[in-house]
Amino acid sequence: MKKIDTAIFSGGCFWGVEYYMKKMEGVFLAEVGYTGGTKDHPTYEEVCSGTTGHYEATRITFDPSQTTFEAVVKMFFEIHDPTQWNHQGPDFGEQYRSAIFYNNEKQKEISEKLIRELKDKGFRVVTELKPAQAFWVAEEYHQNYYEHKGTTPYCHGYVKRF
């Protein structure tokens, strides 16, 4: 039986995070959705309104025999700007906050360690660490957005930080 692990990240527009995470070896599923808010089954419009408290997020499912949680977090920090608060590039709004939603203490410890490393390198990291909450899968038209559109992300790009 295949072992799996999950990680949930918010790093601006969920389409860009999904796009890059799916390219990682060992990642076999990336789903975009919403987490961290107060409404069950929120819609995209509700999240964008700023009334639900949700983050646009991406849930990554990966094989820990092929990659590690630490490698996935490093990729997360290298595909978005963890120093931007309530926005990412041209996208503004509280749903674009940078956050890691950890599933257990080990994930929290690894995330804290990597944030310390970035801060030691001079980055003013604003990424929040929060316990994982309900993850609501976004509407189907948001899944695999860039594959369907045939373009690449406009607000995310890879920047080596580790």
- Positions annotated as catalytic residues are 13
Q: How far apart are CA 70 and CA 111, in angstroms?
A: 8
Sheet of 135-137, strands arranged across? 128-131, 98-102, 5-11, 55-62, 27-35, 135-137
| Sign of torsion over alpha carbons 34, 38, 41, 45 | negative
Judge contact between 9 and 57, C-beta under 8 A: yes
